[in-house]
Structure formats: C-alpha cells, structure tokens
Structure 1
C-alpha cells in the first residue's frame, strides 16, 4: 500500500515539475518580452502559477488513482496502462504547450478553447501557420515529448515494479478516498472560490500574469466554460446601473455634418483590409514607406484619424463593422448563428431599401463561421474562393487581393445600382505571402507582414485608379478600413496602438474632401455614421453612434482575450479582466472612467448573453 501511495505522490510531483519546466520554455521562447519585466517577476510567475500546476497535475492523477483499485491481484497490466496513459497525456500537453508558444506570439494571449473553432476550416487554420517556424516547432514537440514521456516512464517502471498484492478490503476504501481528496488541490485549496485564472494573476504586468497560467489547465477550463456557461462573468454593478452609465455615451443624435451627396441613391463599397494597423500608415504617423498608395489617397479623401478596432480577430471585426456590435473578450458572437440572427446590419438595412448587396472574399467564407452571418444579413450575392478559377488560387488562403479586386471592378460594371459591395482582403494575413517581387526585404515575420501590406496597398491603389474611370464613380462612396489591428510591427508603443486602425472615405459622392475627422471613435460607429449619411434610421444599432453628429461622445472601447481598453480624448487605460488590474494607463482620465469601462463591458456582455 505504501508503495502505491508513494508512486501516486511522485507521479503528481513529476507532472508539477514538468509544468514548471514548460513555463521556463515559455520565458525562453518569448525572451524579448521576458527581458522587459523585472527578473523577480519570473520567479513570481512560477510561484503563483504553482497552484494551477498542482491543480492540473491532480486532474491527471484521478484516473491512475481510481485504476489502482484493480491492482489487488495483478499489477503488470497497471504498468502497461500507465506507460500508455503517460505517453498520450505527455503528447497532448506538449502539443498544447508548443502550439501556445506560437499563438501567444501572434495573438498575445494563452491558447484557449476559441482556437478549436478555427479547426472547423483546416485549410485556413493551416494557412495561418505559414509564417510560423513549423519545422523547429515540430522538432520542439518531439524533443519535449521524448523528455517528458521518458521521465514519466522511468517513474512508472521503477515504482510499479515494487507493487505487491494487497487485500481487497484495503484497496476499496483507500483509493476512492484518495481520489476524492484530490478535489482539494484540483480546486486550488479550501477557499470559497475554486481555481480560476485570477488565482494566479498577481501583477500589473500582463506578460508576468500570462506566464503564470498553466496552458493545459487554461485550455481545458476554456473549453468547458465556453460550452456550458451562459452567465455574464463580468458583473460589477447591480440593477440597471451599468446600462444607465453606458446610455450616457449614446445620446440621441442631433444635427450632423452631411459629407456625401443626396441627389440620388449613393453606391457604397466597403473594403475591409486584413490586419491594417495605423502603425503601417504614414498618413497616421506610422511607418512612411509601407503603404504609399494609401498615404497618397489620404490627401484626396476624408481621413478619420482616431478610429479603434473593437476586437483583435477578423470574426469580431466583421460584426463590429457591418452590425456596429462591440467585440466580446472571451466569446465571438459570429460563432453562434442564433445570436447573430438578432443583429441589425448595414447590408440588411440597405437591402430593405433597394440596394443590391454583395460580399467578396478570396478565401473560404465558412472560416470562423462567417458565412452563416453573411447569409443572415441579406447579402444578395456572396463570392468566395469557390467562384474563382483554380489558376487564381495562388495563395494558401485562396485568391490574392488583386485577383479579387479585379473581379469586383468587372462585376460592378454590370451591377444594378444602387449597390452595396463589401470586399474582404486576405493577402496581409499570415503567412504574409504575396504574388509579386519583394518590396520590403526580410524573412522574419515583421518584414513579411510589412511586405504583404505593401502589396495590398498597391492592389487597392490600382482598384481606386480604375474605379475613377468608371461611370458609377461619381455616385459612389468607398470606405477603406481594417477588420482589426495587429501587434506587428513592434514599435514599442502602448497596447492601444495595436487597435488603432485607419479609415478613409473616397469617391465621387464625397462632398467634403480632402479633409480629416479627428473625433475619437470606434469601428462600431461606422454603421450609424453611414446610415445617417444615407438618411436611413439607425435606431436598431444601439452600440453605434454617428461620428459626424454634433453631440457625438468621443470614446472607444476595445476587447482582447480577457482584457479591455478604454480610450478617451484625455487618456486611456488597459484593464486585465481576470486579475482586475489596470495594466496600462496614460493621460489625465477622470476618476469615473475605470467604472465606465467596466460598465461598458458588463452591459455589452449582458446584451450578448441575452441574444
């Protein structure tokens, strides 16, 4: 009996030490971020993360402990079982650990259950890996698995070989009791609240908190919570206080500035530029040579200089743009058709008033469940990779941007007017491959990212140049904006720079150009702003406000995985929703602003839950 209990204790300790070793691997892989925090925080991350490591190690002990019940007469089968069990668990956990290394670099948060949605479209999921060092990562998986499995096998072989027969009357009460006792470390102790992410968050430095998280625990908790939880986890105020506070941000619109012609119905083209961050737009203070065409066009059209994306993924940005709906930090409404069915949308509002609506994308619209949303929102026609010739499938994602934009130009020549056309680019998505000679040399992710934007910039510039020659140009408004920003390029700017995106209005229907709009606004405000210009009621778009209204309240909210940003003209804050810490703050924000940010999160998530 003593040998069996000693084995279980040693086996759990081994897993705990492995989790600490994987944390060291995380620090080494992200050494640049690790060097930005104090070395004392490295040790603090390991210390605070220990409870979560023990918690998941205890989960892994449940099956071996219960299986011990059946070793009273024979133990050889148990050794074989534990060798197989250990090998499988080691492989799964190592795969999560290594995948998380690269996803954290790209997304800025630890892997969770949301990543499973992208496996529904494996072609696109594989394409996203194109910029990652796949071969070194696979080699790392093999090395870490070999080390982990070997260590576990040594413990299993040496300990189980010492097992002797024990009476059944001892086995029956002891091992179920031990399994039951594992509930204590699984829940993180005897405290009231069970183990959760906030239990390991300890710092106002986000990277230190992320490093403390056990990736396997985080992934499994996310899968189960996203599947079964229908509650709002962000409750800070009682009653209707959150709704009342948020309501003050959306006053009834008053007189607005009319910047497009109303002589007859205006055609609308929205070009949603994948990952287009203000950091690569010289006209917005970004790198000057990456998007020369956009910089030139900025001096011709109406440039909105203070627009912030609502979320950090395409599926969230699409809903923010077309439905004026804010992103959620832990969920994506586009994944749940029964919820998106209740959303208003630009294509729906214009379709009902006679506009012919179409959507163009060179990849698979099934990616991230976007197609179901498009079909619900009254697009008359959806063009995706299935509508292009095989010779045009010249990237891992599908058809490159110049191919799609040329298709749009040709189709619009025959299109019934007025039309509303949405174009979603893809070439500036990972793996950042382009079908033209390299303009910005460099093989690292940052230079590939910049080069891809240079290509898309040229493709859009050519599209606008050709559009100016068309008879429909004089009666058309073209809006260029991003689906979301991006961590790249790393210019060592505060977190909000990742969400600062360009928005430019062009076209013959534009009556105010050239010019700039400097009002601080959100991506979600596009819907109400456009509908006001078209004299279409926007009352259903409760999370969208007219940027050009005289009484527009200047603010922007953005959400990322378990965090939020709150922008005001006099400053900003970035909040970690798990630990409740303000991780970044700048300017002279009023004392009420942190509460207003939390109220917005609570109210918007409550709206999401109710839909």
Structure 2
C-alpha cells in the first residue's frame, strides 16, 4: 500500500515538474507572440501606413494572439506530458522545435501580408506550383534586407526559447492554471466577441495570421465549397418574390442543366448607340487591379487615372461595377462566358470545364475573328486552357513577342511578369494593322503592369507624376507622406493610364476606329493599397466607349462582370439579327442595369479567391460569411444586424451553391444541341 502511495506521489511530483517546464516554455512563446503583434503593426506602419487608432488595434491584436496561444495550449500540454515520461530533455527540445516552426510560419505570414495586404488563407492550395513560383518570384519583399531581418529575428527567438524559460518563476499550481484555462476555453469560449474597425486593412492587421491560415486550411480540406445546405429547397418559397425588379430566371430542365434558363436579357444598350450598319469590332481591355478606389471622379483614395476619367465622360460609365472575383482567375469566365465558379474557380477544372457558350464562340459563329493579348504567360490561372476550349483564333502571350519589345523591369529576384502595357498595346496595334479589311474582330487585352512588384519602365517619371497629382488633388503634407509608402503602386497606375491614352491616340488613326466598341474594366481592385471594406476588393469601373455612341451616360446602379456578355449580345442580336440561341442560355448574369440612380436588381455570388466563396449580393445588401452589410451609393457599406435579411441572402446563396455543386459533379451547362448550333465543337 505504501509503495502504491509512493508511486502516486512520485507521478504527481513528475507531473508538477513537467508542468512547470511546459509553462515556462509556453510563457516565453506568449511573449514572442506579443512581440510579433507589435512588430507586425510597426513594419506595416512604416512600410505602408499607420492606422489612426493604432493603440486600440495593437490591444486587439494582442488579444487575438493570446487567444491563439491559449487555444493551442491544452493540446500541446497533453503531448508534452505524454512525451515527458519518455525523456524530459527530448520533449523540451521537440517542443522548442515545434514552437520554432510556429514562429517561422508566423514571420512568413506577416511578410506575406505586408506584401499583399491580405492574409494568406487556403488560396495557397488552389494554385499550381508554377503559379506559386511566379507569384513568389514577383514579390519584391524577399531581397537581402528581408532575409537578413528574418535570420536575425529567428536567431533572437532561438536565444529566447533556449535561455529564458529557466528564468521564468512559476509554481506547480500556477503551472497548471494555463492548461486548465485552455481546456475551459473549449468548453466555454471566451474569445467569441469581435471588434470591427473602420477599414478592412485595420481589421486584417489585428488577425493572428497563423490562426487565420490554419482555420482556412481546415475549412479547405474538411469543409469544401461544394458542401451546400441540403435544405436549400425549403427556403425557396420564402425567397421567391423577394426581388421583383430584375429578371427572374426560369429553369426548364434544372435537374439536368442547373444553370440553363429560358430567359433572354433585354437590349439596354441600343438606345445609346447609333444604328449599327455593319458588324462592329469589339475591343475588351481588362486592366489588372483597376479599382474604383483610385479611379475616376469620386474615388475615395483620389483619382489617379486622369485619362480613364476623361474617357468616362465620353462613354457609358458604370461607377458601381463589381468584378466577380477578388483575383484575376475569375475575370475571363465571368466577363466572357458569364460562368459560375465551380469549386476553386472554374478555370481550375482545366480540360474538364463544362462545354459552354461564350462571347468568343458565339461571335465566331457569326463571322468574327477572335484573339487574346497578354504580356505574361497564359498558363497562369488556367487561362490558356479556357482560351483553347473557346477556340480563340490567336493567343498572344509573353513567348509570342518578337525581339525589339521590352519587358517590365525585373524584381530583386530577377523575375518579371512579362511585357509592359506600352509594349503590349504597341504589339497589338502592329499585329492588327494587317487585318483591317478582313473579318470583324473580338479582341481581348489583359494588362499586367499594375501588378506586384509594381516596377515599370521609367518609374521615376511616373513617381513625379504621382507627386504632381497629389498636389493637384489638394493633399496636405501628412497625406502625401502616407501615400509615399505606396508610390510604386500609384506610379504603375498612372503609367497604365498614360499607356491607355497613347493606345487610344494611335487607334483613332485606324480606319476601323469609327466601327469599334471598346469595353474597359478592372479584373479586380488591387489589394496592395489598403482596402476599406469587404466589397471594396470587387469595386471596379466599367466603360463602354465608341465613336458610334449617340449619347453618354453615367449609371450608379450596381452590375457585375456577369452582366456584360448578355447585354452586348442582346444589342447585336437586336440590331444586326445575330445568330443567337433563342430558347435560352446559361449566363449567370441577366444584363447590365442602366438606371441612373443607385440600386441593385441583381443577385450574385462573388469569389474572394480560389478557395473562398463567402460573398453574396442581393438588392442593397451584401453578406460576407455570416456578417450582413448594407450597401450605399459609391459602394460604401456598414455592418448591420437584421436576421430576416441575413436569412434571405443566405437562402439565395444556398440555392446558388446547390447548383454550383452539381456543376462540380459533372452536370452540363447547356444541351449539346446548343453547343452544336451556337458554340464551337
């Protein structure tokens, strides 16, 4: 009996000793987490901008890091105690290495955020190795100073984790307090409250980056976007009739073709155009990262695109246009095919993308020659497969350029995205000069210069243009100093704006200029300048310009990239009797809204990145995850509490997800007969 008592006493003593060793190590780790909170705010403040409420943000960041620490503690404690019975020294070394890995991951994720200004999530898993290599190569944040800083901080951490734990004074009882608190946190969470700061940049600063990454990774691997609410059909009765202004799609064969509907989009563009006598050329210019935040009148960051602004005055201009995605992966399928997303962006399906109709295929059936021009590699984001599947006649990319054209300046990693916008437009005009008397054309141009690392030819000239522009906009000294941390971004914006100006000056000399319709929009809003709201990353301008316009107009109503192709085709069919499907289509969009006043008659999902489908708009409401926002003019939004509206949007979103899940499973977009008649086999 006494031996049993001695054994129990010995084990209690061992647990106490092990717990003390564990708690010492964990408290040092907590100290490093608090240091990283301060470090992240300082590095972003000096290299980007300090938020107005820096102290409050720091306190909330400390709280989030503490929650991350306490949520890990119980699991680590169980592992530590279990291994300690084998060897306390080996367990301590193993724990130090594990926490070291957490520290390194934390530093890397802080560095990523400092470059991209969005936290890294599960979108990492949705890119190919070559795409990741391109993105990492483009980063200007991996030069020698960054490497030295990384090695220095890691060295400091190793010293702290090795020498400081023995200096921490903590008794056996207190050593058990934190693991018990960690367990209690799982039973009764005390980290459920959230604080919403005025801008998305400020909110992202407070996020614990490893916790965000691990949570997003867990959702990606264990809670796929393909999962839907199985009770979605039960909501339909409550939802139908909720929006009465837009077209209510009718799905005659929904069990076979979940997106095929019998509705036709109205022709809203013809009233603004002269009568079309011949098939017009279409030139669609997709400007990388062009956001409304810094473009055109009313831009809250200031208007840094004077040419685009002047062109908007001569155009049909939608100031509240939304991209379908927060990255480039969404723009081609949404704008040219009005396609849904699939699981990770529909282009990720590669050759398995369902056969569908597009602006490319339908215009080709009506006698058009089609092309795509891009200064980079079209394999990025799966664009090449999409273009091949749509039988585009000419695909011009980086390897297509002959000698005599200049690429963008390389980053510190000797990487360049490809050819500058000036050179892209110059090559386009040269190539097209030989095709003036041939078929009508659909030409799509995707720019690349306004992309991280934002290095452009003759950058000094455009930096000075930014400084002059800030003076013209009336920025005071403090604001100009704040913007100086984003000088490369703004200079590349002004460079692309000037490139577009020269492009139009040259295009006006062509005889086919008077028979051309230009469509200009951004693929998404670049995130490397701080984002103000959740919907800001999708807010882009849309211009439809043509010498054939008989009147111009500005529209405050909301439309999206999904709406562009249906409206262009409706006008061409109405005016030129194009050969288009008369029984229906599978467009996500129901057409552009030409209301001058602010409103939204559409209901659409928006995909933040290839792994994050959490945004949906309906009327003047927007949901992001489980948060409901009220949208106002100029696409400003405020979080509100309205359970009825939240349920209505979630129900509509669930209906889309149910259809989208069928697409992932291999359902078709349209009947084969439509592909045979109006597509390209």
The normalised TM-score by structure 2 is: 0.71
Structure 1 residue 382 displacement after superposition = 1.9
1:546-596 superposed Cα distances (whole Å, 9 cap, x missing partner): 22679996457655467647475xxx5554425668797469999965445
| 1:413-424 to 2 correspondences below 5 Å | 413-415=433-435, 416-424=438-446
Mark the CA change 1:140 to 1:307 in structure 2 (over 3 Å): closer, same or farther. same
Mark the CA change 1:514 to 1:585 in structure 2 (over 3 Å): closer, same or farther. closer
* Match of residue 550 from structure 2: 512
Aligned-partner Cα distance in 2 for 1:216–1:286:
32
Mark the CA change 1:199 to 1:505 in structure 2 (over 3 Å): closer, same or farther. same
Aligned-partner Cα distance in 2 for 1:425–1:29:
30
Structure 1 residue 479 displacement after superposition = 0.8
Mark the CA change 1:62 to 1:25 in structure 2 (over 3 Å): closer, same or farther. farther
Mark the CA change 1:140 to 1:122 in structure 2 (over 3 Å): closer, same or farther. same
- Counterpart of 1:121 in 2: which secondary structure? helix
Of 366, 370, 374 in structure 2, the residue corresponding to residue 361 of structure 1 is 374
Mark the CA change 1:317 to 1:41 in structure 2 (over 3 Å): closer, same or farther. same
Contiguous gaps of at least 5 residues in structure 1: 160-177
* Match of residue 136 from structure 2: 126
Structure 1 residue 51 displacement after superposition = 3.4
Contact 2:323 2:524 in 1 (8 A): yes
- Counterpart of 2:186 in 1: which secondary structure? coil
Of 523, 531, 539 in structure 2, the residue corresponding to residue 500 of structure 1 is 539
Mark the CA change 1:127 to 1:481 in structure 2 (over 3 Å): closer, same or farther. farther
* Match of residue 114 from structure 1: 123
Mark the CA change 1:459 to 1:418 in structure 2 (over 3 Å): closer, same or farther. same
Of 235, 238, 243 in structure 2, the residue corresponding to residue 241 of structure 1 is 235
Of 63, 68, 74 in structure 2, the residue corresponding to residue 52 of structure 1 is 68
Aligned-partner Cα distance in 2 for 1:213–1:589:
23
Mark the CA change 1:473 to 1:65 in structure 2 (over 3 Å): closer, same or farther. farther
Aligned-partner Cα distance in 2 for 1:464–1:555:
33
Aligned-partner Cα distance in 2 for 1:57–1:156:
16
Contact 1:274 1:484 in 2 (8 A): yes
Aligned-partner Cα distance in 1 for 2:154–2:654:
42
Of 225, 236, 247 in structure 2, the residue corresponding to residue 250 of structure 1 is 247
Mark the CA change 1:225 to 1:495 in structure 2 (over 3 Å): closer, same or farther. closer
CA RMSD of aligned residues (A): 4.4
* Match of residue 203 from structure 1: 195
Structure 1 residue 287 displacement after superposition = 7.4
Mark the CA change 1:367 to 1:408 in structure 2 (over 3 Å): closer, same or farther. same
Aligned-partner Cα distance in 2 for 1:338–1:421:
23
* Match of residue 577 from structure 2: none
Contact 2:37 2:62 in 1 (8 A): yes
Contact 2:281 2:440 in 1 (8 A): yes
Contact 2:629 2:637 in 1 (8 A): no
Of 390, 393, 396 in structure 2, the residue corresponding to residue 380 of structure 1 is 393
Of 473, 496, 500 in structure 2, the residue corresponding to residue 456 of structure 1 is 496
Of 625, 638, 655 in structure 2, the residue corresponding to residue 577 of structure 1 is 625
* Match of residue 166 from structure 1: none
The answer on 1:438 being equivalent to 2:461 is yes
- Counterpart of 1:527 in 2: which secondary structure? helix
1:26-77 superposed Cα distances (whole Å, 9 cap, x missing partner): 3434459874448556545544553332233555567655544543xxx665
Contact 1:93 1:216 in 2 (8 A): yes
Q: Which sits farther off after the overlay, 584-593 or 528-537?
A: 584-593
| 1:110-509 to 2 correspondences below 5 Å | 110-116=119-125, 117=127, 120-122=130-132, 124-126=134-136, 128-130=138-140, 132=141, 134=143, 137-154=146-163, 189-190=186-187, 200=192, 202-205=194-197, 210=204, 213-231=207-225, 235=229, 238-241=232-235, 244=240, 249-251=246-248, 252=263, 253-254=265-266, 256-258=268-270, 259-260=272-273, 261-283=275-297, 290-325=304-339, 331-337=344-350, 340-341=353-354, 344-389=357-402, 392-395=406-409, 396-415=416-435, 416-436=438-458, 438-441=461-464, 444-486=484-526, 496=535, 498-508=537-547
Aligned-partner Cα distance in 1 for 2:85–2:661:
44
* Match of residue 475 from structure 2: none
Mark the CA change 1:579 to 1:43 in structure 2 (over 3 Å): closer, same or farther. farther
1:472-524 superposed Cα distances (whole Å, 9 cap, x missing partner): 3333221111111245766x97665554322222234x343444444432222
Aligned-partner Cα distance in 1 for 2:391–2:601:
31
Aligned-partner Cα distance in 2 for 1:489–1:92:
24
* Match of residue 602 from structure 1: 654
The normalised TM-score by structure 1 is: 0.78
* Match of residue 546 from structure 1: 591
Contiguous gaps of at least 5 residues in structure 2: 1-13, 169-175, 249-262, 410-415, 468-482, 574-579, 664-681
| 1:20-31 to 2 correspondences below 5 Å | 20-31=34-45
Contact 2:376 2:397 in 1 (8 A): yes
Structure 1 residue 273 displacement after superposition = 0.7
Structure 1 residue 293 displacement after superposition = 2.6
Aligned-partner Cα distance in 2 for 1:90–1:347:
49
Mark the CA change 1:447 to 1:42 in structure 2 (over 3 Å): closer, same or farther. closer
- Counterpart of 1:439 in 2: which secondary structure? helix
How many residue pairs get aligned? The number is: 572
